[in-house]
């Protein structure tokens, strides 16, 4: 087997972007904010700290505070944790800091310094939200890819069937094609969707060779 000459930090999309300076860092931050706004919101709403503030404001405050910190992503890469678990840990500490700040401001009664408690399974809740968020982003990217290649109808057929649950027979009638042609159109757009989804997972730290396994593990974890 050939020796892997790249250090671990270079093996991920994030690691490679971080080598590109401010521009790369900005791309990484954008990925995290786009994909993790929903999972972090879900996590926040499940904690005992949800009284602290409006969910979207708290999550955006977390991103603004932590993503700007030097070494934040380097520490993640050294942790060996999936990015969503690393962000959950960081968010938990951020909530603790907010709670202390509220106490200093006199906006909260005496409370302990324990990490926030979560009602239910936080890992499962975040995994479920992560899947929803990734799929939303993949659909958006696939639509853009299809539009760029003049495949708007193909994408609409794909959405009609896989998103809205309509049969190819009905879709074919809407587009004036037979059901077999409708299926072919959906498959063409489906390939764009699959590529977009896999790209997002790769950007999130999953190696290309492990994407199928990651999908299977996540679906099993959420009981799908």
Partner 1 sequence: MTDHTDFSPDNSEFGDLSEAQANLLFGLGRRRPVDELIDRLSEDDGPTFFEDTLMPGLISAYGGLVERMVDRSATLDELVEIKEKAKALKVGAEGEPQRLVAMAGYFFAVGTALILHNKLICSRPRTELQPIMLDLATVTPPPLSEIIEKAANPPSYSTL
Q: Which residues bind partner 1 (CB under 8 A)?
A: 38, 41-42, 45-46, 55, 118-122, 124-125, 128-129, 131-132, 134-136, 138-140, 143, 162-163, 183-184, 187-188, 190-191, 193-195, 197-198, 201, 211-212, 215-216, 218-219, 222-224
Q: Where are the alpha helices (DSSP H) in 47-121?
A: 55-66, 72-79, 83-104
Note whether 100 and 194 are within 8 A (CB).
no
Please answer whether residues 155 and 142 qualify as being in contact, where contact means their C-beta atoms are separated by less than 8 angstroms: yes
Cα–Cα distance for residue pair 24/185, rounded to 1 Å: 35
Closest distance to partner 1 from the beta carbon of 84 (Å) = 14
Q: Which is nearer to partner 1, 81 or 195 (CB)?
A: 195
Please, what is the minimum distance in Å from the beta carbon of residue 174 to partner 1?
20
Q: Which is nearer to partner 1, 15 or 46 (CB)?
A: 46
For residue 179, the minimal CB distance to partner 1 (Å) is 12
For partner 1, the closer CB: 108 or 215: 215
* Coil vs helix vs strand at 6: coil
DSSP conformational letter for 116 = P
Q: How many whole angstroms separate alpha carbon 176 and alpha carbon 195? A: 28
Closest Cα to residue 73, out of 81, 137, 35?
81
Nearest distance from residue 143's CB to partner 1, in Å?
8
CB of 196: closest distance to partner 1 in angstroms?
9
Nearest CA among 98, 76, 106 for reference residue 89: 76
DSSP, res 53: S
Cβ distance to partner 1 smaller for residue 96 or 132: 132
Cβ proximity to partner 1: between 18 and 126 the closer is: 126
Cβ closest to partner 1, residue 19 vs residue 144: 144
Distance of closest approach, residue 184 Cβ to partner 1, in angstroms: 5
Residue 193 contacts residue 158 (beta carbons within 8 Å): yes
């Amino acid at each position: 087997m050939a020796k892997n000459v790249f250090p671990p930090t270079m093996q991920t999309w994030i690691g490679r972007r971080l080598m590109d300076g401010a521009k790369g860092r900005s791309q990484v931050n954008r990925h995290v904010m786009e994909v993790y706004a929903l999972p972090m919101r879900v996590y926040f709403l499940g904690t005992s700290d949800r009284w602290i503030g409006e969910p979207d404001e708290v999550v955006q405050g977390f991103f603004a505070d932590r993503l700007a910190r030097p070494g934040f992503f380097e520490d993640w890469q050294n942790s060996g944790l999936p990015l969503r678990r690393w962000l959950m840990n960081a968010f938990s500490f951020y909530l603790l800091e907010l709670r202390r700040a509220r106490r200093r401001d006199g906006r909260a009664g005496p409370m302990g310094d324990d990490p926030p408690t979560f009602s239910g399974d936080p890992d499962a809740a975040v995994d479920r939200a992560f899947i929803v968020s990734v799929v939303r982003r993949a659909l958006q990217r696939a639509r853009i890819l299809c539009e760029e290649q003049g495949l708007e109808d193909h994408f609409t057929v794909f959405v009609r069937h896989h998103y809205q649950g309509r049969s190819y027979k009905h879709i074919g009638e809407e587009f004036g094609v037979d059901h077999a042609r409708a299926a072919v159109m959906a498959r063409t757009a489906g390939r764009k969707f699959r590529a977009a989804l896999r790209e997002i997972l790769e950007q999130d730290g999953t190696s290309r060779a492990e994407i199928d396994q990651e999908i299977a593990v996540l679906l099993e974890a959420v009981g799908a």
